[in-house]
Amino acid sequence: MRIAGSMALAAILFTSCTKETLPIEPRQTQEEKTVRFEIGRVSDYSQPGSADLNVDIQLHLSLQNRETGAYTAVWDTTYAMRPVTEFPHASLPLAIEKRVVNTKPMDQMLKASYNLRFWRNDIIQYQSAAIIPLNTGHATFTVPVNL
Listed by start position, the domains of the chain span 30-146
Q: Which ranges in the chain belong to alpha helices (H)?
A: 2-16
For residue 32, count CB atoms less than 10 angstroms from its CB and return exposed for 0-12, middle for 13-18, buried for 19 or more: exposed
Q: What is the dotted CATH code of the domain comprising 30-146?
A: 2.60.40
| Interval 52-90: pLDDT, tens | 899 999 999 999 888 898 888 999 999 998 999 999 999
Q: Contact, 113 vs 74, CB < 8 A?
A: no
**Could you give the count of Cα atoms lying within 13 Å of 65 in the half-sphere of its Cβ?**
6
Q: Contact, 62 vs 104, CB < 8 A?
A: no
| Interval 4-54: pLDDT, tens | 555 554 444 445 455 566 565 555 577 888 999 999 999 888 887 788 899
